Structure 1
């Protein structure tokens, strides 16, 4: 009987809570039901008292927290692989072009094999200072933008070398040394802008996708080489590289996993070099959204 009365009292407490009655105290037999609202909240707490025994019942009717229209993600890291699509016609690009030089007959002229990459060791590492997501429509359609550093390391499986002559003119040639490590580094200060579609805006475990463009400015480039004959060498120059980089970019998110891709819409080097190499990268992005 006692349990039945307690159950009835609890039922009355819940019922009166949802009905939002103004009565603060309800008495049922020997039981006293005391209701109170949490300050600044829709949550209701009910205490059932029988002599010296108490039963507390809390009804949480707080409204779901509203999503912010603008959210910021700090210090995002990308780890990926780099490569390029080489559309250069070396038969017409090399002859009569001072950018391509042959310093040693045995090394041969520069050709497509001179730019052969070690794809497993050519990397792309990006460090974004921040990215922001601006709600456009119901948090399903968003605008994403940010700023950061894009860093490309093109690892060559060849003897290609980048230098500048006494007149400060950049050129490339096939060296006579067999390098253990030979890579070209290019670093850009970049601003990406993307449209984002979030199919499950109220869940972090859903699917979302983004696509857009990025604009980057070349802030550093160098040719780093390592060999038994010369040791470690670094040549920090521009090497007639295109100062601006415009790229098509995309991002796919499935739960906590995010993949990114970037494809350059302009060439890596300036037009006067006659090289037509279009860098691209794919990898994993470590971010909150």
Structure 2
């Protein structure tokens, strides 16, 4: 009898010892596509949610998520605005009187609201530099400047010069200058996590332009419509400071040249401001 009791006691101690050695930290992995590492549970798409007693960090893995592109292209941007110029000419100088004899500042008064600037940008690209907050913007397009004069001035060729026509009264008198332009700007987007048409930002830089066409168009009762094309004294290249302001869907632009639109004689610095119609 004593031997039976001793045997049963030893068997009970052995069972209790084996249960104590069981690793209670190891638990079966939750159902579904999950991975448990200690108290951390990683849930992939479709995995089972952890219980309320679990203290965990959840990591969602979505292979279909699209990252923001580092380069975005915008096609067919249009600017509509007004242009004018700053007149720094010394009309008493020999050079000014040679190019425009007996001229004065009043010769070049513009008709208010009639001098229109239209720009057509073939494309513009925005390249991310720093966290989509600082970007590089560049593109290619054409700038169309139209200066409508109040006075009856006439552009001549061979050599290029400007005269005041005292014999004919013009009902329309316009100087047109068309440029092929490449702008380069730093763009600062202060709300990079919003859709671009709801964001706020500014851009600033420079543009280089080549004058590919220029002409004077005038109209009168005596002559009808006429044009003077070719070399009428305008500078072939234009360098300008350019800027853009974005206020949600509203985008404004500006351009200010670094030197006169004319090769010699007159110091007229052209500038333009207006509304930019683009996606960003």
- Counting only pairs closer than 5 Å after superposition, residues 248-267 of structure 1 correspond to structure 2 as 248-267=241-260
Q: Post-superposition shift, 1:211?
A: 0.2
Query: Is the partner of 1:267 in helix, strand or coil?
Result: coil
Name 1:182's counterpart in structure 2: 173
- Counting only pairs closer than 5 Å after superposition, residues 158-173 of structure 1 correspond to structure 2 as 158-164=151-157, 168-173=158-163
> Separation in 1 of the partners of 2:177 and 2:31?
66
Moved over 6 A (4+): none
Q: Quick one: which of 260, 276, 279 aligns to 1:285?
A: 276
Q: Quick one: which of 214, 228, 232 aligns to 1:221?
A: 214
Q: Quick one: which of 111, 132, 136 aligns to 1:139?
A: 132
- Counting only pairs closer than 5 Å after superposition, residues 204-243 of structure 1 correspond to structure 2 as 204=196, 205-243=198-236
Q: Deviations over 1:201-227 (max 9, x none)?
A: 121212010000000000000000011
Q: Which runs of 5+ in 2 are unaligned?
A: 1-29, 35-43, 49-59
Name 1:22's counterpart in structure 2: 33
Q: Post-superposition shift, 1:238?
A: 2.0
Q: Post-superposition shift, 1:240?
A: 1.6
Q: Post-superposition shift, 1:243?
A: 0.5
Contact 2:82 2:273 in 1 (8 A): yes
- Counting only pairs closer than 5 Å after superposition, residues 1-289 of structure 1 correspond to structure 2 as 21-22=32-33, 44=46, 62=62, 64-93=65-94, 97=98, 99-101=99-101, 109-164=102-157, 168-176=158-166, 177-203=168-194, 204=196, 205-271=198-264, 274-289=265-280
Contact 1:151 1:186 in 2 (8 A): yes
Query: Is the partner of 2:269 in helix, strand or coil?
Result: strand
Q: 1:95 to 1:193 in 2, by over 3 A?
A: closer
Query: Is the partner of 1:248 in helix, strand or coil?
Result: strand
Query: Is the partner of 1:241 in helix, strand or coil?
Result: coil
> Separation in 2 of the partners of 1:43 and 1:277?
66
> Separation in 2 of the partners of 1:44 and 1:238?
73
Q: 1:66 to 1:183 in 2, by over 3 A?
A: same
Query: Is the partner of 1:89 in helix, strand or coil?
Result: coil
> Separation in 2 of the partners of 1:43 and 1:258?
41
Q: 1:61 to 1:228 in 2, by over 3 A?
A: farther
> Separation in 2 of the partners of 1:72 and 1:228?
48
Q: How many residues align?
A: 227
> Separation in 2 of the partners of 1:217 and 1:191?
9
Q: Which runs of 5+ in 1 are unaligned?
A: 1-18, 24-41, 47-59, 102-108
TM-score, length-scaled by structure 2: 0.76
